[in-house]
């Protein structure tokens, strides 16, 4: 590829104040170009003769003038980040010296690097896989230490390995299948249907685990939007204040006080929740006021958008029609029923049985007295999958990866269905090929140029 023949340079450290600033140079002419602008301090030293993994002290030259002191660190292809000849030049921090150095390098023949171009070259030279390249980006972008740990686990190639295992199993199966279909006369051992479907099912399960780990990983990295719903006076605002640790929302015994949506970010265990306290949901009769009706409409919309729903019920009262309407709308969603006001509830009052079919979790609480907070924390972690997530395990870390993994999983599901519905092996083989193609896209082994562009567009220059 054309651009592989250029030699690029960029500031690798963050711009601004700092002890040192490092400029990275990579490409076939790195030694030639740096040789023109670097004057070693010690007699007899030269850039051209520098061995990999060594350092040299000197000054850089700009328009023939000796500038700042500069430490050069040498890497020889292929033993470098990009796989090319690389020289890292460190000068004093602040932007002035680094800017001068970049100017010198560009004058001497370097091209300024594009976004992510160093990492892109690393990918093209087989120094890392596409998933690793994406992980580099995630490490830079990750907020929160757990998120950074997750992204980093992909960086050391464990994600590529985890996917590689699935690929290998399916490729073996595919090879066997092809041989058997193409050379029926030959002595290819017959592929039993049980073995075939067995392998597909096993690898589909592995993909399912990867896919479900993605959403949990994303929850840890970015937090989740969580809506508080329930009819007026069940204790939503009290719960919000409890989670926030201070009085964020107005709590009153008068029904219908929370009219607009109150937003508050809170930390619940390892998960950050962006909480939305809503107007109580209930039917507004002919006399109901318009503002309340609008509030309720917005509440239902929040229910559709939220990544987590906390539906609050009054455990001391029988379920009303509004309660049941809420429960029905929660079905199939990531929703937890909070049975609040346990302190007022008698043994027989708890409407648990009625709610069970609609909710994944039911948590009794007394929000006013902070009772049940740990149970709620556990329920949330369990429901969002963060409890089950091994922070050491490699996870998918971009929407692109998720889409490819999902395509592979769906193709395997189709292959299994094809066999179970009595279609021939060739029909299943087509689905299997689709699944493999999706996995190749995922790891970048066969990725199209468009896919690679998409990944590198979001990189910052200097990486
Ligand atoms: P919202 O309309 O759903 O937001 O309900 P609020 O949070 O405003 O609470 C309504 C009333 O219920 C207030 O008087 C609260 O003090 C009271 N309340 C909230 N949680 C509890 C609880 O766990 N037990 C009891 N006994 N009262 C509660
Ligand atoms: Zn309220």
**Long-range contacts, 317-325 (Cβ 8 Å, 24+):** 317/349, 318/349, 318/351, 319/351, 319/354, 319/355, 320/231, 320/282, 321/283, 322/231, 322/281, 322/282, 322/283, 323/230, 323/231, 323/351, 324/354, 325/281, 325/283
Instruction: Consult the annotation and say whether 433 binds a ligand.
Output: no
Asked if the 134-213+395-456 domain carries CATH number 1.20.120.430, the reply is yes
Would you say domain 219-388 falls under CATH 1.10.357.10? no
CATH class of 2-127: alpha beta
pLDDT at 163 over 70: yes
Q: Ligand 1 mean position to 278 CA, how many Å?
A: 14
Q: Where are the beta strands (DSSP E) in 76-223?
A: 86-92, 111-112
Average pLDDT over residues 423-445: 84
411, with CB counted inside 10 A (0-12, 13-18, 19+), is buried
Ligand 1, residue 241: give the atom nearest the CA. Answer: 7
- 26 or 168: which carries more pLDDT confidence? 26
Peptide bond into 214 cis (omega under 30): no
Q: Is the pLDDT of residue 252 over 60?
A: no
Atom of ligand 1 nearest to the CA of 340: 23
Ligand 1 centre from 314 Cα, in Å?
9
Q: How sure is the predictor about 286, in pLDDT bands with cuts at 50, 70 and 90?
A: very low
Instruction: Note the pLDDT of residue 2.
Output: 43
* Number of helical H runs and strand E runs in the chain: 15, 13
Q: Which residues sit opposite 364 in a β-bridge?
A: 339
Q: How far is the CA of 387 from the centre of ligand 1 (A)?
A: 29
- Give the ligand with the smallest distance to the CA of 247: 1
pLDDT at 229 over 80: yes
Contact 249, 271 (CB under 8 A): no
Ligand 1 center from residue 302 Cα (angstroms)? 22
Mean predicted lDDT score pLDDT of the chain: 82
Phi, psi of 65 (to 5 degrees): -90, 140
Q: Which residue has the higher pLDDT, 41 or 452?
A: 41
Q: Output the pTM of the full model.
A: 0.57
**What are the residue ranges spanned by the domains of the chain?**
2-127, 134-213+395-456, 219-388
- Please state whether 398 falls in left (phi above 0), alpha (psi between -120 and 50) or beta: beta
Ligand nearest 370 Cα, by number? 1
Protein residue closest via CA to atom 11 of ligand 1: 253
Is the separation of the CB atoms in 415 and 432 below 8 Å? yes
Regarding the beta carbon of 371 and ligand 1, being less than 6 Å apart is answered no
Q: Is 364 in the pocket of ligand 1 (CB under 6 A)?
A: no
Terminal CA-CA length for the chain: 20
Pick the ligand that lies closest to the CA of residue 260: 2
How many Å lie between the centroid of ligand 1 and the Cα of residue 253? 7
Q: Is 280 in the pocket of ligand 1 (CB under 6 A)?
A: yes
Mean pLDDT of 319-342: 93
């Amino acid at each position: 590829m054309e651009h592989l023949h250029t030699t690029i340079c960029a500031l690798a450290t963050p711009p601004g104040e700092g002890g040192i600033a490092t400029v990275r140079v990579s490409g076939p002419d790195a030694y030639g170009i740096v040789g023109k602008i670097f004057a070693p301090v010690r007699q007899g030293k030269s850039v051209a003769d520098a061995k990999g993994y060594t350092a040299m002290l000197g000054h850089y030259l700009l328009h023939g003038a000796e500038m700042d002191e500069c430490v050069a660190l040498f890497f020889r292809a292929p033993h470098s980040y990009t796989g090319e000849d690389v020289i890292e030049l460190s000068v004093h921090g602040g932007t002035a010296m680094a800017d001068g150095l970049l100017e010198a390098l560009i004058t001497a023949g370097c091209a300024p690097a594009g976004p992510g171009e160093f990492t892109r070259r690393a990918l093209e030279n087989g120094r890392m896989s596409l998933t690793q390249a994406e992980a580099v980006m995630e490490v830079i972008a990750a907020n929160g230490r757990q998120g950074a740990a997750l992204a980093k686990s992909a960086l050391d190639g464990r994600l590529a390995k985890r996917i590689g295992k699935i690929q290998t199993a399916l490729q073996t199966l595919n090879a066997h299948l092809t041989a058997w279909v193409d050379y029926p006369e030959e002595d290819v051992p017959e592929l039993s249907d049980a073995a075939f479907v067995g392998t597909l099912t096993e690898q589909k399960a592995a993909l399912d685990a990867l896919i479900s780990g993605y959403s949990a990983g994303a929850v840890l990295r970015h937090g989740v939007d969580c809506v508080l719903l329930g009819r007026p006076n069940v204790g939503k605002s009290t719960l919000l204040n409890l989670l926030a640790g201070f009085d964020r929302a107005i709590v009153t015994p008068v029904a219908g006080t929370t009219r607009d949506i109150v937003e508050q970010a809170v930390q619940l265990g390892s998960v950050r929740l962006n909480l939305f306290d809503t107007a109580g949901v209930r039917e507004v009769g002919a006399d109901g006021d318009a503002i309340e009706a609008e509030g309720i409409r917005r509440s239902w919309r929040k229910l559709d958008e939220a990544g987590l729903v906390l539906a609050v019920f009054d455990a001391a009262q029988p379920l009303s029609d509004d309660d049941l309407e809420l429960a029905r709308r929660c079905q199939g969603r990531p929703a937890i029923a909070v049975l609040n006001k346990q302190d007022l509830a008698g043994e027989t009052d708890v409407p648990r049985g009625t709610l069970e079919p609609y909710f994944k979790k039911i948590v009794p609480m007394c929000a006013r007295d902070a009772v049940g907070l740990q149970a709620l924390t556990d329920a949330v972690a369990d429901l969002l999958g963060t409890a089950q997530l091994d922070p050491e395990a490699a996870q998918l870390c971009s929407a692109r990866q998720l889409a490819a993994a999902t395509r592979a999983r769906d193709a395997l599901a189709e292959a299994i269905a094809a066999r179970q519905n009595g279609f021939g092996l060739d029909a299943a083989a087509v689905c299997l090929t689709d699944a493999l193609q999706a996995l190749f896209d995922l790891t970048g082994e066969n990725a199209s140029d468009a896919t690679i562009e998409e990944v590198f567009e979001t990189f910052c220059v200097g990486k």
